[in-house]
Structure formats: C-alpha cells, structure tokens
Amino acid sequence: MRLALTSDLHVDHHPEVVPLVAERLRRLEPEVVVVAGDVSHDPARLEAALAGLSAPQLVFVPGNHDLWKGPDGVDSRRRYEEVLPARVRDAGGHYLGRAPVEIGTVFFVGVTGWYDYSLRRLDLPCTLDDYRRGAFGKLRWNDVHHVEWPGCAGAEEICAEMVASLERQLRVEGPKIVVTHHLPFAELVTSFRDLPLPAEIREVPWDFLNGYMGSVRLGEAITRARDVKLGMSGHTHFRKSALIGGVRWEVSPVGYPREYRRMGLDLAARVAERVTLIEV
C-alpha cells in the first residue's frame, strides 16, 4: 500500500497550502492519504481543505486546533464525536478517532491523543500547576482557553479517555496502522536545547511546551498491541522518523509560515519536504 502522510496544514495561516499539497499528491500517486490533524479550527474550512486534496482514499484524525470551540458554542467533545465526523464524511474522507477504519486488508486505528505532561522535561524549573494553567514565563498554551471537554476535569482526564479508546480500537484482529495527532513516544519529541538556535531564541524556555506534546500512555497501549505495522503522528512541527519497538514511526508536518521561512524555505518547498510517501 502506498501511503502519503502529512499534518499540521494550519490552513488559516496559509490557505494556499491546499492546492500545493494536492499537486504534490498527484505526483506521488498514493493509494491512501493520511492527514494527522491540525487543519483548521473552523469546521467548514477544514471540510473544504480536505475535499480540496482530491485524495483517492483519505484518512483524517483531528488535532487539538481542530477541536477548539468556536463562536457557535459547540464544545470540543461534540466537535470530536459529532461535528467533525460529519464534515470529514462530507469531504469524502474517513474519520479516525472513534473506531477502526478498514481499507483493503489493513485497519487504520487512532485517536487525537492529548497530553498528560508525561513527556515534559523534568529539569526545567516549572511545576505541574504551571502546565495545568498553561503558562510559564512568557509562554502560553492556548488549549487551556479554547478546549472544553464536558465530563473531563482537565487534560489528564481527556488523555485517559483517548488512551482507553485507542486500546479498544487496537483489539481489532488484523494488520494495523496507528495514527495519532499527539505524540506517543519520547523518541518523537524534539528538545530545543539540541537545536542550533540563535542566542535570543535559546533564552526562551521553549522546552516547557514539550509537556503538551503527548503521553507515554499512548505509546504503552500501542506497544502492547499486536500486528501494528506502522505509526504516524502530527502535532510537533519537526520532521521525525524512528523505529520504536520494531515499528516504523513517521511525523511529517507542514507547520506555520514563520517556521519554514526561518529556514529559508517557501511554502512549496516545505510541502515537497513534508508530504511524505510511505510504502507498507
């Protein structure tokens, strides 16, 4: 099976990304396109973007930005369980997040994932209370203000629900490809201290944000499962490829304009780099 992976299109910041990704997909000729979340906080714009990819088979799992509540007053749980499944279906795609999706002889299983701060760096001078309120120094994590999940008192409980859903899906018999938005393994997290950054950027404790990257409990559920052939994630805006527990794991996000421009790339070059073809 020929798969194309991308994520974090963030079309609100550069709507011209959609035709560029569509053209890249036409050249790659995948059988299945996987978009691992963070397309738009506007459901209508998200649907239009997915439809604009013109994928032969499209699998989408929502990211945290896709679940932000909007002026319509619809909470994040309802977006996840009702609004986005309908939007993805209307775009001609398969919604991943509640039940396995069978394509050919393979089951796609996955969830958004969420975070419980278990991927945070323990050597930073910040506390769990800082993570729960979404603030440390000048850094802010906006999910605290934009995500409303009735029935859960905070991110750790949302994460626990996601892990339980993933565990249920992973019981399906047959070869499986796992897709999460948030990261399930520490090996997929990038530490800013390891990057060649200018001094003024290094002065900001960016690694505080790693606590919001995902959860080791997602990885534990995946590691326990049988017949996992491939894993894919989004969320971090760093390209990653790793072999974890004998399973290939890929992360290939587009990200924000400021990120690729800082690297001297234009959007077309970024798309060419971050829409990845994978053979399974």
Domain ranges of the chain: 2-279
Contact 58, 25 (CB under 8 A): no
Q: Identify the pLDDT of residue 43.
A: 97
pLDDT band at residue 203 under the 50/70/90 scheme: low
Specify the pLDDT at position 115.
98
pLDDT of 199 over the 80 cut: no
Distance in Å from the first CA to the final CA of the chain: 5
What's the mean per-residue pLDDT of the chain?
95
> Domain spanning 2-279 has what CATH number?
3.60.21.10
Q: In which band, very low, low, confident or very high, does the pLDDT at 213 lie, cut at 50, 70 and 90? A: very high
- Position 67 scores a pLDDT of 98
Report pLDDT for 195: 78
Provide mean pLDDT across the span 154-166.
98
The model's pLDDT over 224-268, given as tens digits with 9 standing for 90+, comes to: 999 999 999 999 999 999 999 999 999 999 999 999 998 899 999
This prediction has a pTM of: 0.96
Report the distance separating Cα 96 and Cα 88, nearest Å.
9
Residues 163-189: tens digit of each pLDDT: 999 999 999 999 999 999 999 999 999
